[in-house]
Amino acid sequence: MFVGFAKGIIKIFDYRKNVELKTLTCKQSKNFNKVNCLDVHPSGEYLVAGYYDKLIVVWDLKKSKVYYELDKTHEED
């Protein structure tokens, strides 16, 4: 289970065992950007997080590291 928090962190839980597995925090989210949405790639290898200030982060779940960031300067269609 993935849970996004108002302080910009994402926690990963094993709900069957009721235990926290990991906490994900990226450099950009240190500004305490609220996590608005989360989605997991069908392969289970990547997690996409959207933040309140339009930051988008793709996480590599195997490495628990940021795979790609698209900051708020991106153009809107």
pTM: 0.79
Between 73 and 22, whose confidence is greater?
Answer: 22
Region 33-40: mean pLDDT is 91
Backbone angles phi, psi at 27, to 5 degrees: -55, -45
Q: Using only C-alpha atoms, what is the Rg of the chain?
A: 12
Q: What percent of the chain has pLDDT over 90?
A: 53
pLDDT at 71: 77
Distance from C-alpha of 65 to C-alpha of 26, rounded to nearest angstrom: 8
Residues contacting 73, CB < 8 A, separation 6+: none
Query: Where is 15: in which H helix or E strand?
Result: none
